[in-house]
Chain A
Amino acid sequence: MWEYTDKLKDHFFNPRNVGVVEEPDGVGEVGSLACGDALKLTFKLDKNGKIKDAKFKTFGCASAIATSSVLTEMIKGRSLEEAAKVTNKDIADYLGGLPEQKMHCSVLGREALEAAIENYRTGGKKKHELEGNIVCNCFGVTEKEIERVIRENDLTTVEEVTNYCKAGGGCGGCAGEIEKIIERIKPEKPEQPAISAPRRPEKLTNIQKIQLIQQTINEQIRPALRAHGGNIELIDVEGNKVVVAFRGMCAQCRLTELTMKDVVEAKLREFVSRELFVEEDKESAQEPHNHRE
């Protein structure tokens, strides 16, 4: 059972400002049924350009409903400039915190607000605009969005990014690309001293190295892929070059080269040797390999 704060429960059981504002000045719609949560936010301005009324409709769990309710409370009486400064962290803090895996609910609220303000200013689409590259196809999350949650919330792992914006939480095929984005943003922050360095073997014979690579694939990499219907096979090891093939869902994923390779490489470097690099064996991936179908 989730540990929800009393404030969150209060906003879930007694949500404020449910509904749709009549003749709204701004409308924002984000999320979808498939994603498991969706929010429609509408607001109306007064003569001075301040938010006079804001209402919401939400499909989702208790924290999605509570964050929506809180959001409407937070923006009422504010000018659009002030409202636009509300971050997902502000929303979570207002509720006295959210469970980590529910942080994406606070992001949903912020996105809806932005979409509504955008709609007011440009008369543009009410739907949340997908700008730039889509990284996570399962949940339709763009590179920009991922960069933003990383920066605003100091995220350092793929798991955290998934908690905050769902990216990587479906087939998992984009984990490598998310990892890359995290790496790219890291230098913007002051370097934190490493708490622990991975313990890698000192010297390996070729046979030991191959065995360790196979073991790492079996124990560290395959279970994650299998959870999403994919698989990986070790084809060859030549010096520091590791040749692998992706199967099942992973092989069909358009982003294979960009993403899975990096995940595998990162794991192999962590557990075997820093020198390793990974190549994908395309030919063997073409072969039908559907014993599980």
Chain B
Amino acid sequence: MKTIYFDNNATTKVAEEVLEEIKPLFCELYGNPSSMHTFGGQMGRRIRQAREQIAALLACDPSEIMFTSGGTESDNTAIKGTLAAQPHKRKIITTRVEHPAVLAVCRDLENHGYTVVELGVDRDGRLDFEELVEQIDDNTALVTIMYANNETGVVFPIDKIAKLVAGKGAVFHTDAVQVVGKIPLNLSDSNIDLLSLSGHKLHAPKGVGILYVRKGTRLSPFMLGGHQEAGRRAGTENVPGIVGLGKACELAAENLEAENSKVKYLRDKLEGAILEKCPDCRLNGDSENRLPNTSNISFEYIEGEAILLMLDKYGICASSGSACTSGSLEPSHVLRAMGVPFTAAHGSIRFSLSRYNTEEEVDYTIEKLPPIINQLRELSPFVTK
């Protein structure tokens, strides 16, 4: 059975071009870039090249790129490193809809004497900018707000937020793992101090990411034990991962616009057809300011895990904010923060597309999904015919 992969916000396929690029780095060119011999030392050039490829996509200086093991490490480093570098400030501002890699770190810091403010969102998942204006003060060390939400795809006005934060003298970090490669970024023309990126969300392998650190941003190192990354992040470089990420960024830069108009077209077609063909369903999140690849739809009166398993039978991969998929008993913290009613939150499905999806796959899903919804509704005691 063919796999139809609509779960690209979870992880993505490694691009063939990326795989080709990193294949020789396991058994042939496996040297350590820190070594004195040519065999190892030559890898330093490959890392430099990757740094330049990434900097080109982000429109920043290569020296501002720091390699990490992925989005979670980048987020941890950004938050803890910033606080350690300015011990006199004790307040952090974030949002209720962050990824756990940010939210759990902030909540843990409350145990260490920090005040954490979690900004709310409205029914469409939009941030209240005025609340941020009210909350930010001289004691605020860090504001960390995601660029776009992984569950709904809602994009926050990050440039505007970063400008405000810079004006107040606090550090601004954004978790942009869902954004890079999907919408264009220009860091040279923004006030973002720190930005997290994860390789496996844009067709590079798992286990590599970066933290962009704007020149002049004070950050205490998180990992000690080596001189790598100019002493900012110790540990032998994940050379294949880094080279792969460089290539993936190069591909993203080349195709960004063309791909996203195609991906957006497919997403809109899928979403439009589902909303039209299935009664009692609703779109979660601001439909305007949204990633081009993400669609989060709630099907009322039925439960998400059941929908996913039925889709799985046809090889269609998606994800759900329902309680049952995670093993917890409550639905997604993002949907709850948005005030999505329980009747809809339990039945939410996220489709997240990539450039490798085809119109044929979208058409196939449009054909298979409505009968699944009907079938489950026939089982539901809340639907009476």
Contacts and interface: CB of A to CB of B under 8 A. Distances in A.
A98 to B, nearest CB: 12
Given A37-B303, A61-B325, 9 more contacts: A18-B378, A33-B342, A40-B381, A57-B380, A58-B381, A59-B380, A61-B322, A62-B305, A292-B117
B111 A218 contact: yes
A197 B342 CA distance: 42
Interface string B317-345: 00000111101111100000000001100
Nearest to A231: B110
29 contacts: A2-B305, A12-B309, A13-B310, A13-B313, A15-B379, A33-B346, A33-B382, A34-B342, A36-B322, A38-B381, A38-B382, A39-B381, A57-B380, A58-B380, A59-B379, A59-B381, A60-B303, A60-B324, A62-B306, A62-B309, A64-B303, A65-B379, A139-B329, A169-B329, A170-B330, A219-B111, A291-B115, A291-B117, A292-B117
A13 B330 CA distance: 25
A162 B343 CA distance: 22
Interface string B370-385: 0000000011111000
Of B108, B111, B304, B331, most buried by chain A (CB within 10 Å of CB) is: B111
B89 interface: no
B306 A12 contact: yes
A36 B329 contact: yes
Contacts of B305: 2, 61-62
A291 B106 CA distance: 14
A12 to B, nearest CB: 7
A12 B328 CA distance: 21
A37 to B, nearest CB: 7
Interface in A55-71: 57-62, 64-65
A222 interface: yes
Interface string A20-64: 000000000100011011111000000000000000011111101
A97 B323 CA distance: 20
A219 B107 CA distance: 12
A59 B304 CA distance: 10
A166 interface: yes
A292 B106 CA distance: 12
Nearest to A18: B379
A33 B380 CA distance: 10
B379 A292 contact: no
A223 interface: yes
Contact of B324 (A13, A18, A36, A38): A36
A33 B301 contact: yes
Nearest to B304: A61
Nearest to A167: B329
Contacts of B313: 13
Question: Which interface residue of B324, B342, B378 has the most chain A CB atoms within 10 A?
Answer: B324
A60 B303 CA distance: 5
B380 to A, nearest CB: 5
A13 B324 CA distance: 17
A162 B327 CA distance: 11
